[in-house]
């Protein structure tokens, strides 16, 4: 089982992530992508989800997508969420828009 991050660990993790914010309960990032990038990006997220057996909450409004991470079984943000967020940043390759 994943271990909850302490306040200092979470602050340090967020400092190293592009556009992510949150608290001990969840972290999230909102991105706006061109229409032709949305579906391929969602496909990449599904691949990460399968690989890690850890899934985000997604909220899509047209070309804007908010990705929210939390480890529900642990009751907040864990290293799994931070790892997923890093993978998202790698895919995007640029800061949040």
pLDDT tens by residue, 44-77: 999 999 999 999 999 999 999 999 999 999 999 9
Name the pLDDT band for 2 (thresholds 50, 70, 90).
confident
Torsion-angle region of residue 89: left (phi > 0), alpha (psi -120 to 50) or beta?
alpha
Instruction: Report pLDDT for 3.
Output: 87
Q: How confident is the model at residue 94 (pLDDT cuts 50, 70, 90)?
A: low
pLDDT reading at 97 higher than 50: no
CA distance 39 to 16: 26
* Residue 1 per-residue DSSP state: -
pTM: 0.91
Average pLDDT of span 65-92: 96
In this structure, is the dihedral angle defined by the CA atoms of residues 46, 25, 23 and 6, taken in order, positive or negative? negative
pLDDT, mean of residues 90-97? 70
């Amino acid at each position: 089982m994943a271990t909850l991050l302490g306040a200092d660990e979470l602050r340090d993790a967020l400092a190293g992530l592009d556009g992510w914010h949150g608290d001990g309960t969840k972290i999230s990032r909102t991105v706006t992508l061109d229409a032709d990038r949305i579906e391929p990006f969602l496909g990449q997220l599904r691949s990460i989800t399968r690989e890690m057996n850890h899934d985000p909450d997604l909220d899509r409004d047209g070309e804007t997508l908010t990705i929210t991470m939390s480890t529900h079984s642990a009751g907040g943000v864990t290293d799994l969420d931070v790892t997923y967020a890093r993978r998202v940043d790698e895919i995007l390759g640029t800061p949040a828009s």
